[in-house]
């Protein structure tokens, strides 16, 4: 299991961030760093603020106060499409695929025409797509429509689009939910491979088996507050946090 060290580059820095919706404080003074090559999982009960935190990072929401810095630069006022171009990519629970497009076309749509791949020529871009299809075991589905894929295949296509985006930070919302054991093993291997390449990965996850197997670090949120962060073992064995997670509050 990877642990955060002083030598690991911090790609995203969230500092004293608050988000209010009228009288509701959805995020309460959260400070969290996301280092390169580390898989961080956000856990907590429903309504803890996990998705809100993703929305703040991607520019879909503005913090009421506090700062979010990406590669040392503030994301304040940066539009979501600009955040994506800066190297932050996100998946959603509903996958948001182009259902009538082929697998290959779905992947190609996220590859910026200004990227080094396209600058190297269409052949280089197509070669990268083939590599991604191999990694996600979708090569034989290359010309199939997304709508015709099995559920696990659609999940891997969603991940393939992230891989093709050249993003340095992946924000994944329950990416392994519903996967069969063999697909899950492939999924873990893929994320571990990209983390070793320096990709920063942050996941929202409720399945504790997935949290234990995949996380380098766990951040526990409740009612908008970051209550604890550390290894999955340390977090999940804390009786106070377990009581909150399973709805057994005092």
Mean pLDDT across the stretch 169-190?
A: 91
Q: How far is CA 4 from CA 10, 128, 216, 226, 229, in A?
A: 10, 30, 8, 18, 11
Q: pLDDT higher for 20 or 115?
A: 20
Write down the domain spans for the chain: 9-87+167-182+195-250, 96-166
Helices 122-135 and 151-164: crossing angle in degrees, nearest 10, is: 140
Rounded to a whole number of angstroms, the distance between the first and last alpha carbons of the chain is 33
Q: Quick one: pLDDT at residue 232?
A: 87
Choose among 199, 198, 233: nearest CA to 215: 233
Q: Quick one: pLDDT at residue 114?
A: 46
Note the CATH number of domain 9-87+167-182+195-250. 3.40.50.300
In angstroms, rounded to a whole number, what is the distance separating the alpha carbons of residues 113 and 179?
32
125-131 long-range Cβ contacts below 8 angstroms, 24+ apart: 128/164, 129/104, 129/164
Helix ranges (H only) for 120-238 are 122-135, 151-164, 181-196, 208-214, 232-236
Q: Quick one: pLDDT at residue 206?
A: 86
* 117: confidence class by pLDDT, cuts 50, 70, 90: low
122 pLDDT exceeds 90? no
Beta sheet of 73-74, edge-to-edge order = 24-35, 10-21, 65-70, 73-74
In angstroms, rounded to a whole number, what is the distance separating the alpha carbons of residues 215 and 42?
10
Q: Quick one: pLDDT at residue 176?
A: 87
**Each residue of 218-231: pLDDT tens digit?**
999 999 999 999 99
Question: What is this structure's pTM?
Answer: 0.89
Q: How far is CA 67 from CA 13, 21, 40, 225, in A?
A: 8, 18, 19, 16
Q: Sign of dihedral through CA atoms 33, 185, 101, 127? A: positive
Q: pLDDT higher for 112 or 69?
A: 69
Mean pLDDT across the stretch 171-184?
A: 90
7 pLDDT exceeds 80? no
Mean pLDDT, all residues of the chain: 89
143 pLDDT exceeds 60? yes
Residue for token pair 């404080």? 25
In angstroms, rounded to a whole number, what is the distance separating the alpha carbons of residues 240 and 250?
9
* 121: confidence class by pLDDT, cuts 50, 70, 90: low
Q: What is the DSSP string of 151-164?
A: HHHHHHHHHHHHHH
Q: Quick one: pLDDT at residue 3?
A: 41
Q: Quick one: pLDDT at residue 126?
A: 84
């Amino acid at each position: 299991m990877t642990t955060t060290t002083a030598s690991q580059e911090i790609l995203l820095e969230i500092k004293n961030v608050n988000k209010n919706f009228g009288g509701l404080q959805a995020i309460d003074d959260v400070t969290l760093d996301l280092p390169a090559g580390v898989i961080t999982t956000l856990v907590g009960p429903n309504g803890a603020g996990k998705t809100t935190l993703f929305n703040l990072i991607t520019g879909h929401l503005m913090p009421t106060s506090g700062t979010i810095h990406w590669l040392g630069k503030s994301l304040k006022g940066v539009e979501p499409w600009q955040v994506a171009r800066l190297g932050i990519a996100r998946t959603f629970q509903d996958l948001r695929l182009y259902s009538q497009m082929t697998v290959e076309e779905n992947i190609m749509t996220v590859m910026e025409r200004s990227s080094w791949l396209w600058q190297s020529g269409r052949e280089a871009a197509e070669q990268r797509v083939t590599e991604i299809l191999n990694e996600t075991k979708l090569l034989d589905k290359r010309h199939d429509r997304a709508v015709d894929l099995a559920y696990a295949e659609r999940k891997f296509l969603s991940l393939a689009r992230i891989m093709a985006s050249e993003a340095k930070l992946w924000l994944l919302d329950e990416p392994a939910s519903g996967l069969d054991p063999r697909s899950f093993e492939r999924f873990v291997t893929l994320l571990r491979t990209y983390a070793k390449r320096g990709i920063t990965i942050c996941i929202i996850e409720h399945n504790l088996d997935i949290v234990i197997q995949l996380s380098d670090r766990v951040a526990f949120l409740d009612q908008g507050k970051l209550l604890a962060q550390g290894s999955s073992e340390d977090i999940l064995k804390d009786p106070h946090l377990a009581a909150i997670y399973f709805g057994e509050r005092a």
